[in-house]
Structure 1
Amino acid sequence: MAERRPHPTAAGRAPRHPATSQRTATPGARGGAPRPAAARADARSERPVRRPQDDRRAPATRRSAGGRPGARPSSRRGGPPAPPRTPLRLPLASSPRRLHAVLIVIAVGLSLCGGRLLQLQGFDSAAYAATSADLLTRKLPLLPSRGTITDRNGEVLASTQPAVAVTADPTLTTPRAAEIADVLSGYLQMPAADLVPLLTKPDTHFVYLKKKVPALTYSALSSALAQKGVYGVFRESDPIRTYPAGTVGSSVVGFVGADGKGLAGMELELDRELAGVEGTETYESAPNGSRIPLGESSTTPAQNGVDVQLTLDSELQFMAQQRLAAQVQKMGADSGFAITLDVKTGQVLVLANAPTFNSAAPQKADADDRGNRAVLAPYEPGSVEKVLTSAALIDSGTANPATRVEIPGRLPSGGASIKDHFVHGDIRLNMRGIIANSSNIGTALLTRQLDKQTLHDYLASFGLGRPTGIEVPGEASGILPGGDMSDSQRDQIAFGQALSVSGIQEAAAIAGIVNDGVYNPPTLVKQKTDAAGAVLPNPQEAPRRVISSASSAAVRDLMASVTDSPNGVQNLRLDAYTSGGKTGTAQRADPKCGCYRGYVTSYVGFAPLDDPRLLTYVVLTNPRNGDTGTSVATPVFKDIMNQALPRYSVAPDGDTKRKALPTEW
């Protein structure tokens, strides 16, 4: 009988046919004989191949073909069940090992935490405490009041008005910026629209809202903000420097910058003393910027600056400035200055410049007009220098007022020739006549008899070639050729060229010569006092003798011949005082072309003649409507002296008739 093959559609099982199917017994099973091995082999060979998609049958929990839940279906009906699949199991680690690993991790974490805690509290505790304190501490500078500058009579020339700079912390003001801006707008005179961007500026804790706000204004502003419970607006001391006198003495007083530091004049020269010492206010604040009422606070008070009293006479200074400015305009000059000295002390009573500026608004003036030409701008002095040359000649014994000189019309010198301002042939003048007529040739002839090194030493002793030490920053030294000067340089120096001086150098030198030969270094500072009113030391260079008393009297005699001699200039006399003087006209060195162009005209004079008290020196640069000191500078000299001498109680002596001494031979 042919063998029946199972139908392949039965998923590997033969179809069930009750009539023909037989239960095959396996060894040890109930009710059946063992199936031959060949039959089992045939059965395996006939079993259809299982496709991969057959694995997507129902899960193992459904009943198998044999009827037992979870049993593996047999390949044939009635065959033995397939061995159960061994489930995939991961081996579990040892519990003690897991516990040890966890404990180690915990121990390492606790060690790190303990180490960090030790660092914070044991080693770095002070640093972190300081950082924390800094975050809660606010420091405000307490600026001192800058010292006052007054004239010799106590008139205020510079003072300080309390004011502040209003600041804000945008991290505190941003949430209520619009409300704060509305309050600030009226007090700061700024539109709210301009304030809001400042109050909300990102990434910063500090902005300036407005500087130079009067202290009373800020006080009212602060109260208004406090009423609204607003924090974040602060202040810094930012005082306002005021100059009540305006232009009077401005070239001496100077001015300060926006930061309150001196930039020119006395404000710069004495800046450290005037400024004082800054203090601080320290207090603990809450995160919103408000002061913690019971927090720690401390104050280091500021030390106010030194008050400075100048030697200037502001009323005389005002008159001199007005008169000088008018003459500069009338003569069409580029500029001018006037100096009045007390020859007994060296104190400067007048130091006027024209054009000048207002210390309260220096930016409105040209840079050249913000300086002090009488101290900073050297020039060739011209015939005024003959006073110094004469002092050297007389004191050295080379000449005296009666020394006779034959003067030619021209004098050869260094490949050129020297001439006088007046045309003449051969004339005979004594030294008095040489000075009265301002003869360049006569002065050069006398100076040729003096050793060049000796001439240099005398001029140096009079203060030429170095600063006088007056309290003005940037004082010019001038130029004084050495003892090895050429012969032609000596000739030119004799009458005021081939060297340069500052106005204050020349005025102080002549004041020393006529003051019985005693030189007093010029000064602008009369007294300094601290905030408590105590007078502070004001060291100055000691007076020194430069020529003998007899030589001084002889020089005064020469200068008197300029005003008293019939051959002198008669319109130089003062109204009620005897006086001596000297005119000057020098070629002007123009740095633009490196040549001489125009003139520097001047006049220096003193009074009374026998006992000088005041000296005034007037210089005008490049006048276009005159070229002599007589017509250009002398009118200003006379107006200043006629007012200054009575003001300082100098007794008139002009009624004394002086006999004119001879000037010719």
Structure 2
Amino acid sequence: MPLGDSGRRLRMVMLALAIAVSLCAGRLVQLQGFDSSALAATSASQLTRTLPLLPSRGDITDRNGEVLAATEPAVAITADPVHTAPHAAEITTVLLKYLELDRTKTMAALTKPNTRFVYVAKKVPAATYTKIAAELTDLDLYGIFRESDPIRTYPAGAVGSNIVGFVGADGQGLAGLEYGRNTELAGVEGKEVYESAPNGSKIPLGSSVVTPATNGVNYQLTLDSELQWVAQRRLAAQVTESKADTGTAIVMNVKTGEVLAMANYPTFDSNKPGKADAEDRGNRAVSAAYEPGSVEKVLTMAALMDSGVAKPDTKVLVPGRVSSGGGYIKDYFSHGDLQLRLRGVVSKSSNIGTVLLARQGDKATLHDYLARFGLGAKTGIELPGEAAGHLPGPDMKDYTRDQISFGQGLSVTAIQEAAAISGIINGGVYHQPTILKSASDSTGASVPLDRAAPRRVVSAETSAKVRDVMEAVVVNDSTHKLAIDRYRTGGKTGTAERVNSSCGCYRGYTVSYVGFAPADNPEIMTYVVVDNPRAGDTGSGVAGPVYHDVMEFALSRYSVLPSTRKAPEKPIEW
């Protein structure tokens, strides 16, 4: 049998080798010359992980530094099923030692196909995760990672909750300051980009670039948590006792506009917002508009006296009723003709006397004064959901002027009315109400706060006259039950027919009481509003006791000096 041609065989082998080398060379040219950038990017993406660095949400404290909202370190545990699936049972056993998880759902997450990222647990304390990670490392189990997922806590619970608010599961503010100042509190997210091994672990000497997070702004409130607790507790008891729907109480520093307490009832615990009704998680002190009733007479008299229409001793003959808008306006008590001074009209809370005095002035002027006092517009307090209320225009009907003079036919919010009266009695200088005392960034540097400049609303002389008139209310109260020992005080009751939305009519009452001390140099003012009480229907009987107890505590707590002279007795009749 003839042997093969060795020359031909060699040529065939060399040709095959040449083709193979050419193919390899061509592939090499493609990889290094044409596809190198794309392939490098693909390789980098497979070996690079990006870890978000969440900022620490800013703290919220009261005026004395008591923490009302804070952030505790915590993480969200994530997994790469490509690495966890082969050892899902072992990893699950470790996780269940430290966390309350469902075994079946955890196994399903760890073995989920066609993905390299799943959440296993959220809001896990950082210390707990450290223990989990250590045990998984000891067992040589890979594929479990973490993301920053801080826990928001509210140490004071329900104290100030309507002001502070709360955050949702995603850490975003949903109510109160947590919502209104969410962007500032949240800060700016950072990130860490690092090279990882195929098993997902960080390469110790690999590339790592960190863009640090910027922590959120810290806010210190004007709120006094102890006074707030007293106000909430006392208000809750009175709303319950009077079988009312809701209640609000505001304590203000007259000289600065700072809100020292802002109580709502019913309220909620910021740690457990889901257990409260939605309407109780807001802040009625700024969002609920109502007809203020006779407390409004303070504003009416301030306008009349400042415009020169009347004085505290102006005489008014008050009949048993007065015609208005095709009907009659009466007082809450039956009487014949009364000879009252303006001081007496307010002291006896006479609707008729107020109407007769208001008719001596100009409607547009009255409107302008009420607008100057802040009615019909938001106060600008740093809380979300503020309502503007309703103030009839300067071309209002005559009967509308009659109504608004004694607190019906217009609507206000509690913060609006409180700020208006505070400005009138504070020498006539209005301070925009504020709940924020200061702000600072994560380095401790001060962050500026926008504040409206104080403005004059009435003269200092008018302010003194209004205080004179309001002090007469307390002095001439036959029971003296709202007087405060050792202090001269001024006050005013309010009882307004309540608008019922279901029938579009008046049904029930909204009662209130506002008071301040000392009468000759006011420092603290308290305003209490109780809506729809069914056991009691007067401001002095329902709202007054809350005012008295809260005010007594506040005066003592802030070391307000007692009055050195007795209140002068001035005539209310002629």
TM-score with structure 2 setting the length? 0.94
Q: Which residue pairs with 2:502 in the alignment? A: 592
**Cα deviation code 1:511-557 (max 9, x no counterpart):** 00000000011101101111111122122111110000000001111
**Cα deviation code 1:478-508 (max 9, x no counterpart):** 0111111111110000000111000000000
Aligned mate of 1:244, from 139, 155, 168: 155
Aligned mate of 1:201, from 112, 123, 132: 112
Q: Which residue pairs with 1:166 in the alignment? A: 77
Residue 560 of structure 2 is aligned to residue 658 of structure 1 = no
Mapping of 1:462-611 within 5 angstroms? 462-565=373-476, 570-611=480-521
Bigger shift: 366-375 or 185-194? 185-194
Q: Which residue pairs with 1:214 in the alignment? A: 125
Q: How much has 1:129 moved relative to structure 2?
A: 2.9
Q: How much has 1:455 moved relative to structure 2?
A: 1.0
CA distance in 2, matches of 1:470, 1:632: 27
Residue 394 of structure 2 is aligned to residue 445 of structure 1 = no
Mapping of 1:383-462 within 5 angstroms? 383-462=294-373
Q: Which residue pairs with 2:528 in the alignment? A: 618
Contact 1:468 1:522 in 2 (8 A): yes
Residue 543 of structure 2 is aligned to residue 647 of structure 1 = no
Contact 1:146 1:274 in 2 (8 A): yes
CA distance in 2, matches of 1:415, 1:441: 15
Q: How much has 1:120 moved relative to structure 2?
A: 6.6
Aligned mate of 1:321, from 224, 228, 232: 232
- Tell me the secondary structure at the aligned position of residue 260 of structure 2: strand
Contact 2:258 2:434 in 1 (8 A): yes
**Cα deviation code 1:245-285 (max 9, x no counterpart):** 11111111110000111110111111111111111011111
Q: Larger relative contact order (C-alpha < 8 A, sep ≥ 6)?
A: 2
Contact 1:601 1:619 in 2 (8 A): yes
Aligned mate of 1:283, from 186, 194, 209: 194
Q: Which residue pairs with 1:307 in the alignment? A: 218
Q: How much has 1:464 moved relative to structure 2?
A: 0.8
Contact 1:562 1:569 in 2 (8 A): no
> Which amino acid in structure 2 is aligned with residue 434 of structure 1?
V
Contact 1:178 1:192 in 2 (8 A): no
> Which amino acid in structure 1 is aligned with residue 226 of structure 2?
E
- Tell me the secondary structure at the aligned position of residue 475 of structure 1: coil
CA distance in 2, matches of 1:565, 1:177: 80
Contact 2:268 2:276 in 1 (8 A): yes
Bigger shift: 187-196 or 397-406? 187-196
CA distance in 1, matches of 2:54, 2:316: 68
> Which amino acid in structure 1 is aligned with residue 540 of structure 2?
T
**Cα deviation code 1:372-401 (max 9, x no counterpart):** 111111100000000001111010111111
Q: Which residue pairs with 2:15 in the alignment? A: none
What is the percentage of aligned positions where both structures have the same residue?
63
Q: How much has 1:219 moved relative to structure 2?
A: 0.7
Call closer, same or farther: CA 1:579–1:123 in 2, change over 3 Å.
Answer: farther
CA distance in 1, matches of 2:233, 2:567: 34
Q: Which residue pairs with 2:14 in the alignment? A: none
CA distance in 2, matches of 1:225, 1:192: 17
Contact 2:495 2:512 in 1 (8 A): yes
CA distance in 2, matches of 1:614, 1:264: 28
> Which amino acid in structure 1 is aligned with residue 568 of structure 2?
K
Call closer, same or farther: CA 1:180–1:495 in 2, change over 3 Å.
Answer: same
**Cα deviation code 1:437-482 (max 9, x no counterpart):** 1011111111112211111111111111111111110101101111
CA distance in 2, matches of 1:513, 1:283: 63
CA distance in 2, matches of 1:483, 1:164: 59
- Aligned-residue RMSD, C-alpha: 2.0
Call closer, same or farther: CA 1:119–1:551 in 2, change over 3 Å.
Answer: farther
CA distance in 2, matches of 1:399, 1:121: 96
CA distance in 2, matches of 1:569, 1:373: 31
- Tell me the secondary structure at the aligned position of residue 274 of structure 1: helix
CA distance in 2, matches of 1:167, 1:429: 77
Q: Which residue pairs with 1:63 in the alignment? A: none
Aligned mate of 1:362, from 267, 270, 273: 273
Call closer, same or farther: CA 1:120–1:594 in 2, change over 3 Å.
Answer: farther
Which has more radius of gyration? 1
Q: How much has 1:119 moved relative to structure 2?
A: 7.9
Contact 1:169 1:205 in 2 (8 A): yes
Contact 2:234 2:546 in 1 (8 A): yes
CA distance in 2, matches of 1:494, 1:124: 83
CA distance in 1, matches of 2:402, 2:54: 58
CA distance in 2, matches of 1:451, 1:130: 79
Contact 1:185 1:195 in 2 (8 A): no
Q: Which residue pairs with 2:16 in the alignment? A: none
Contact 2:488 2:566 in 1 (8 A): no
CA distance in 2, matches of 1:478, 1:128: 65
Kindly tell me the number of residue pairs found equivalent between the two proteins.
556
Bigger shift: 120-129 or 278-287? 120-129
CA distance in 2, matches of 1:329, 1:580: 27
Q: Which residue pairs with 2:3 in the alignment? A: none
Q: How much has 1:649 moved relative to structure 2?
A: 1.4
Call closer, same or farther: CA 1:512–1:122 in 2, change over 3 Å.
Answer: farther
> Which amino acid in structure 1 is aligned with residue 538 of structure 2?
T
Call closer, same or farther: CA 1:127–1:455 in 2, change over 3 Å.
Answer: farther
CA distance in 2, matches of 1:118, 1:444: 98
CA distance in 2, matches of 1:626, 1:378: 22
CA distance in 2, matches of 1:126, 1:451: 82
Contact 2:189 2:213 in 1 (8 A): yes
CA distance in 2, matches of 1:131, 1:391: 76
Q: Which residue pairs with 2:7 in the alignment? A: none
Call closer, same or farther: CA 1:449–1:127 in 2, change over 3 Å.
Answer: farther
Bigger shift: 176-185 or 582-591? 176-185
Q: How much has 1:287 moved relative to structure 2?
A: 2.3
> Which amino acid in structure 1 is aligned with residue 201 of structure 2?
S
Uncovered stretches (5+) of structure 2, i.e. residues with no partner: 1-18
Call closer, same or farther: CA 1:595–1:127 in 2, change over 3 Å.
Answer: farther
CA distance in 1, matches of 2:404, 2:40: 74
Uncovered stretches (5+) of structure 1, i.e. residues with no partner: 1-105
CA distance in 2, matches of 1:480, 1:448: 18
CA distance in 1, matches of 2:213, 2:242: 51
CA distance in 1, matches of 2:28, 2:503: 79
CA distance in 1, matches of 2:32, 2:204: 28
Q: Which residue pairs with 1:45 in the alignment? A: none
CA distance in 2, matches of 1:296, 1:552: 70
Q: How much has 1:132 moved relative to structure 2?
A: 2.9
CA distance in 1, matches of 2:385, 2:29: 61
Q: How much has 1:571 moved relative to structure 2?
A: 2.2
Contact 1:339 1:616 in 2 (8 A): yes
> Which amino acid in structure 1 is aligned with residue 566 of structure 2?
K
CA distance in 1, matches of 2:320, 2:450: 51
Mapping of 1:225-264 within 5 angstroms? 225-264=136-175
CA distance in 1, matches of 2:29, 2:378: 67
Q: How much has 1:190 moved relative to structure 2?
A: 2.3
- Tell me the secondary structure at the aligned position of residue 481 of structure 2: helix
